[in-house]
Amino acid sequence: MRSPLTPEMATQEVQLNETLAHLKTESETLKTKLEEERAKLHDVELHQVAEKVEGLGQFVMKTRRTLKGHGNKVLCMDWCKDKRRIVSSSQEHAVTMPCTWVMACAYAPSGCAVACGGLDNKCSVYPLSLDKNENLAAKKKSVAMHTNYLSACSFTNSDMQILTSSGDGTCALWDVESGQLLQSFHGHAADVLCLDLAPSETGNTFVSGGCDKKANVWDMRSGQCIQSFETHESDINSVRYYPSGDAFASGSDDATCRLYDLRADREVAIYSKESIIFGVSSVDFSLSGRLLFGGYNDYTINVWDVLKGTRVSILFGHENRVSTLRVSPDGTAFCTGSWDHTLRIWA
């Protein structure tokens, strides 16, 4: 039975409610101020600044390789820095193990290990060996532990740390050797679906995108969210830094890709067409940042002129959704993975 409110409790409750109201007003004021500050800098559009830049000619890009090793949908892939190997993961059916969709995978910078995880809520590191007799599954090391599925993972600049994002709404930084949680990143209001580390020259930040339609930029050391962008109209499936580190692109279920300028702190381009109505699963830049490749749920790849905002090419080949897309480290090709069970290399 609930005891009656004493006069002291009633006063405290009133005070708390006043504080709450005060804080709400302050947050509204700050939000308005943020919008005004961002609007002040919107003195020109990116494509206007790019008017004098030469247009791009016809692009002839074709599938150069089709890789058919998976028995099911390909969900994720990553290139090794030696550019000759890729790791990919898929939704394999397993009889003896519980459902283990592997949704994320990444190559270690040394090329000696891969990290992967998914519906097991973990990120595990597997050493690599060319010796087919070695039982690599036995050498697996569990590094990260979330309370929901692992959506993405990436080694930082060394084999020693891994950054993860999860359906539990957080990102986290882990020490591979000890499995210790080094930093956690809270701020998304729903599943985090993707992340990308800033190019090493630009410091210790990374960007994440989620089901809350937000893209957040984080300081890896402090755990602080330093910038937040909310212009997409649906889940953000993929984020990728522009090669200079001063901007990043995103791909969303709202069928658009967008470019966000970090120093102007706002969206500066939208890559969309009325005819494109299916979501973007994955985006990546060519080496100079001039081209943005997007893999779509309508089985196609659209290639965009980042500066002018126009589409330069549409590529066909996959027979189901393109789920993952990455440009090779040397920029000579890009790889796509699809629900049609194959990987394709394009150049």
Partner 1 sequence: MMSGRTCSSGHVVQAQKLVDQLRVEAGMERIKISLTAADLVRFCQDHRRSDPLLTGISASSNPFKDKKTCRLL
Q: Site for partner 1 (CB under 8 A): which residue of 119, 145, 182, 225? A: 225
Q: How far is the CB of 27 from partner 1 (least distance, A)?
A: 5
Instruction: Give the C-alpha separation, 207 to 322, whole Å.
Output: 22
Burial class (CB in 10 A: 0-12, 13-18, 19+), 204: middle
Residue of the chain from 201, 263, 275, 316 that contacts partner 1 (CB under 8 A): 263
244 binds partner 1 (CB under 8 A): yes
**Rounded least distance, CB 48 to partner 1, Å:** 8
Q: At CB < 8 A and 24+ separation, what contacts does 133-142 make?
A: 141/176, 141/179, 142/179
For partner 1, give the closer residue by CB, 150 or 249: 249
Q: What angle do CA 152, 80, 143 make, to 5 degrees?
A: 40
Q: Which of residues 6-65 bind partner 1 (CB under 8 A)?
A: 9, 12-13, 16-17, 19-20, 23-24, 26-27, 30-31, 33-34, 37-38, 41-46, 49-50, 53, 56, 59-61, 64-65
Residues 287-326: x/- map of binding to partner 1 (CB under 8 A)?
A: xxxxx--------------xx-------------------
| Residues facing residue 295 across a β-bridge | 282, 301
Backbone dihedral angles phi then psi of residue 29, each to the nearest 5 degrees: -60, -45
Q: How far apart are the first and last CA of the chain?
A: 72
Q: Which is nearer to partner 1, 9 or 160 (CB)?
A: 9
Q: Could you say which residues in the range 83-112 bind partner 1, by CB under 8 A?
A: 83, 85
248, 239 Cβ separation under 8 angstroms: yes
- For CA atoms 73, 160, 156, 80, give the dihedral sign: negative
Q: Of the candidates 291, 305, 209, 203, which has an alpha carbon nearest to the alpha carbon of residue 245?
A: 203
Q: Is the dihedral of CA 288, 51, 300, 195 positive or negative?
A: positive
User: The tokens of 106 are what?
Assistant: 């990444």
CB nearer to partner 1: give 161 or 328: 328
The least distance separating partner 1 from the CB of residue 251, rounded to whole angstroms, comes to 18
Task: Indicate which single residue of 121, 205, 231, 286 sits in contact with partner 1 (rule: CB under 8 A).
Answer: 286
Q: Closer CB to partner 1, residue 150 or residue 335?
A: 335
Q: Does 140 bind partner 1 (CB under 8 A)?
A: no
Q: Which two tokens stand for residue 48?
A: 């206007």
For partner 1, the closer of residues 150 and 301 by Cβ is 301
**Nearest distance in Å: CB 77, partner 1:** 13
Assign 27 to helix, strand or coil: helix
Q: Which of 121, 228, 300, 320 binds partner 1 (CB under 8 A)?
A: 228
- Closest approach, Cβ 258 to partner 1, in A, equals 14
Q: Is 185 in the site for partner 1 (CB under 8 A)?
A: no
> Toward partner 1, which CB reaches closer, 34 or 181?
34
